[in-house]
């Protein structure tokens, strides 16, 4: 939903963005080479550089990439931040709209106000007085009830009732993430792996603190869940269980995603010592 203004304002088209960039505008990526190369080239299109990203710096989430960088004597820059694609989207919108790019992460900046409006309209909730904090990547993070998030995801996936411009933006974004699921997360990551198998039938995105959201366009359904422990480990397995319960996974998909439905736990010797599995809440 944060990427909707990028497409809706015409910014994405004006800068000739393709599936890779639009998918990255929805990403928490691992900082792998394809991710950072795309962000770097994208910044070039804007006439901007890494220092214009206000997301801060951290070593890539993808461990092998971090070690390869260290081996090559490299250090990370804001491009490696897992949110750098989303931030490129914010910058692109600001540049296209003729807004000052500096401070684009602030709640008061038009970029963030535009996103706030999209969230309110999509989720059907007044967020003017909603509790908010500052995210790890410096943008506002706004408290939205799960049912409203699910409603927003449902409308994102099946946007027929929205205005033509909004609906077209949702469809463009959905097509991009379905076409380039690797750009949304990366190697070995749930979001990329599941969407590579489901194609456009399931669109999903992990969030911080055990949140996970999905849209199932053909069913007109949205899913928003939060694992009470605030961690991704079980949230992923929960999402798989919900998708199975809804019935959107074919037998072939379930076979391919077996380790995402019942997640094996292995110790440091590679011995299988247990599993993370959903309880039978849906089948009992």
Choice between 99 and 135, CB closer to a copy of itself: 135
Task: Tell me how far, at minimum, the Cβ of 258 lies from a copy of itself, in Å.
Answer: 22
Place of tokens 């991704």: 232
Place of tokens 């919900």: 242
Task: Tell me how far, at minimum, the Cβ of 260 lies from a copy of itself, in Å.
Answer: 20
Choice between 9 and 206, CB closer to a copy of itself: 206
CA distance 201 to 218: 7
Place of tokens 């694992």: 227
Task: Tell me how far, at minimum, the Cβ of 209 lies from a copy of itself, in Å.
Answer: 10
Choice between 128 and 270, CB closer to a copy of itself: 270
Task: Tell me how far, at minimum, the Cβ of 192 lies from a copy of itself, in Å.
Answer: 22
What is the DSSP track for 61-112?
A: SSHHHHHHHHHTT----GGGSTTHHHHHHHHHHHHHTT---TTTTSTTSHHH
Choice between 143 and 160, CB closer to a copy of itself: 143
Task: Tell me how far, at minimum, the Cβ of 40 lies from a copy of itself, in Å.
Answer: 18
Displacement of CA 85 from its chain's centroid (Å): 10
Task: Tell me how far, at minimum, the Cβ of 27 lies from a copy of itself, in Å.
Answer: 15
Task: Tell me how far, at minimum, the Cβ of 224 lies from a copy of itself, in Å.
Answer: 19
- Given the DSSP bridges, would you call strands 140-142 and 203-206 parallel, antiparallel or unpaired? unpaired
Q: Provide the binding-site residues for a copy of itself, judged by CB under 8 A.
A: 54-59, 63, 66-68, 70-71, 73, 81, 133-138, 228-231, 267-271, 273-274
CA distance 199 to 203: 8
Choice between 145 and 230, CB closer to a copy of itself: 230
Choice between 14 and 70, CB closer to a copy of itself: 70
CA distance 153 to 218: 13
Choice between 110 and 136, CB closer to a copy of itself: 136
What is the DSSP track for 167-230?
A: HHHHHHHHHHHHH-HHHHS-TT-HHHHHHHHHGGG-EEEE-GGGEEEEEEGGGTEEEEEE-TT-
Task: Tell me how far, at minimum, the Cβ of 229 lies from a copy of itself, in Å.
Answer: 4
User: Residue 268: CB partners within 8 Å, gap ≥ 6?
Assistant: none
- Specify the 3-state DSSP secondary structure of 151: helix
User: Residue 8: CB partners within 8 Å, gap ≥ 6?
Assistant: 118, 165, 166, 168, 169
Choice between 81 and 92, CB closer to a copy of itself: 81
Dihedral (CA of 36, 38, 44, 46) sign: negative
């Amino acid at each position: 939903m944060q990427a909707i203004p990028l497409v809706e304002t015409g910014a994405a088209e004006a800068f000739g963005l393709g599936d890779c960039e639009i998918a990255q505008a929805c990403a928490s990526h691992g900082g792998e080479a394809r991710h950072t190369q795309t962000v770097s080239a994208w910044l070039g299109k804007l006439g901007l550089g890494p220092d214009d990203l206000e997301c801060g710096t951290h070593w890539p989430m993808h461990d092998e990439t971090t070690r390869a960088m260290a081996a090559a004597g490299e250090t990370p820059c804001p491009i490696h931040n897992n949110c750098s694609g989303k931030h490129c989207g914010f910058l692109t919108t600001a540049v296209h709209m003729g807004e000052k790019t500096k401070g684009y992460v602030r709640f008061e900046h038009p970029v963030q106000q535009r996103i706030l409006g999209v969230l309110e309209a999509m989720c059907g909730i007044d967020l003017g007085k909603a509790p908010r904090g500052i995210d790890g990547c410096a943008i506002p993070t706004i408290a939205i009830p799960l049912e409203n998030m699910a409603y927003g995801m449902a409308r994102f996936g099946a946007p027929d009732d929205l205005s033509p411009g909004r609906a077209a933006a949702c469809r463009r974004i959905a097509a991009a993430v379905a076409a380039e699921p690797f750009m949304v997360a990366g190697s070995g990551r749930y979001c990329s792996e599941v969407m590579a198998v489901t194609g456009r039938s399931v669109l999903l995105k992990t969030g911080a603190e055990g949140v996970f959201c999905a849209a199932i366009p053909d069913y007109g359904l949205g899913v928003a869940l939060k694992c009470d422990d605030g961690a991704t480990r079980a949230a992923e397995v929960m999402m798989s269980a919900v998708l199975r319960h809804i019935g959107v996974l074919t037998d072939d998909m379930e076979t391919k995603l077996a380790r995402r439905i019942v997640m094996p736990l292995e110790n440091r010797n590679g011995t299988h010592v247990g599993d993370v599995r959903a309880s039978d809440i849906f089948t009992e």
